[in-house]
């Protein structure tokens, strides 16, 4: 996980600076083991159980495949001295313990968590819309966003085990029909540059003119975007953004313009 907490329910983004600011290098967050090596701990913002912080300062667990050092937190799976709370059942039911694949539609049994997600969406809808636009790099209109929200809520997707309060923007995009992006402007985010490059280089029917997606030929062509292929590797989660165009002959004329694997990050809403 890329979040931690000092108090259950209050998530913080995991970084060296934020962790040091919150803990002041004090016990029980910092402690030295018998072998004199430093161990770092905090609590899981969702279930309140202790978590260990890995790779804060060194190469504790270098990734086997990429050989990159990734900072992350993981559940300890046991009680830890200095932390008063430990509940194995809560840990195993925690969405941050072993995330369900985003795409799974299994319903969770804990209705309290589902109601909390509904409340977060209601209170933070303006921010969530901007975060969705940032993910796809396209300035999806408010009218389309409202339709997306309605589909998500009426489908009770907030009750899926795979949906938690840290992946709401990805979930709202994943559990959705294709979004038409023809005649829409790019949104200023790193993804917009990728969208622009791929459309200009790979599209038969569309081009970016002054940040607007326009047809470069006449005809009933359309451009769609969706999320697919959730993956979890080396303590990170990924999902693919797909942009495709379609011509007059339906599926036979479908052309994939972009398929970009992006790393999923935790979105923190209060």
Residue 26 CA to its chain's centroid (Å): 31
pLDDT, one tens digit per residue, over 44-90 is 999 999 999 998 886 554 444 445 668 899 999 999 999 999 999 99
User: Which helix (H) or strand (E) covers residue 212, if one does?
Assistant: strand 212-215
Of 31-45, 95-109, 242-256, the poorest mean pLDDT is in 242-256
Position 270 confidence tier, pLDDT thresholds 50, 70, 90: confident
What is the model's pLDDT at position 267? 96
Q: How far apart are CA 260 and CA 262, in angstroms?
A: 6
What is the model's pLDDT at position 68? 62
Task: Taking residues 107-116, report their average pLDDT.
Answer: 88
- Confidence (pTM): 0.86
pLDDT, one tens digit per residue, over 179-237 is 999 999 999 999 999 999 999 999 999 999 999 999 988 877 889 999 999 998 878 89
Report whether pLDDT(242) > 50: yes
pLDDT, one tens digit per residue, over 119-176 is 999 999 999 999 999 999 999 999 999 999 999 999 999 999 999 999 999 999 999 9
What is the model's pLDDT at position 250? 57
Q: What six digits make up the tokens of 208?
A: 């970016």
End-to-end CA distance of the chain: 18
User: Which helix (H) or strand (E) covers residue 88, if one does?
Assistant: helix 88-92
Cis ω before 99 (30° cut-off from 0): no
């Amino acid at each position: 996980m890329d979040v931690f907490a000092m108090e259950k329910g209050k998530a913080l983004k995991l970084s060296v600076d934020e962790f040091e600011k919150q803990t002041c290098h004090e016990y029980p967050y910092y402690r030295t083991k018998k072998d004199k090596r430093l161990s770092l701990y905090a609590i899981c913002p969702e279930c309140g159980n202790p978590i260990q912080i890995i790779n804060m300062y060194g190469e504790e667990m270098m990734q086997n495949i990429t050989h990159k050092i990734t900072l992350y937190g993981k559940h300890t799976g046991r009680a830890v001295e200095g932390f008063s709370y430990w509940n194995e059942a809560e840990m195993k039911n925690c969405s941050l313990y072993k995330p369900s694949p985003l795409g799974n539609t299994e319903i969770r049994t804990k209705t309290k968590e589902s109601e909390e997600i509904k409340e977060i969406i209601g209170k933070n809808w303006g921010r969530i819309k901007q975060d969705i636009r940032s993910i796809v790099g396209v300035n999806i209109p408010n009218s389309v966003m409202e339709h997306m929200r309605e589909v998500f809520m009426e489908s009770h997707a907030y009750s899926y085990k795979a949906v938690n309060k840290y992946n709401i923007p990805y979930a709202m995009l994943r559990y959705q029909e294709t979004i038409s992006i023809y005649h829409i402007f790019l949104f200023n985010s790193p993804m917009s540059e990728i969208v622009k490059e791929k459309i200009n280089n790979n599209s038969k029917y569309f081009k970016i003119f002054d940040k607007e997606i326009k047809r470069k030929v006449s005809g009933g062509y359309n451009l769609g975007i969706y999320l697919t292929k959730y993956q979890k590797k080396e303590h990170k989660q990924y999902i693919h953004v797909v942009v495709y165009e379609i011509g007059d002959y339906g599926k036979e004329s479908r052309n994939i313009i972009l398929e970009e694997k992006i790393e999923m990050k935790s979105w923190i809403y209060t």
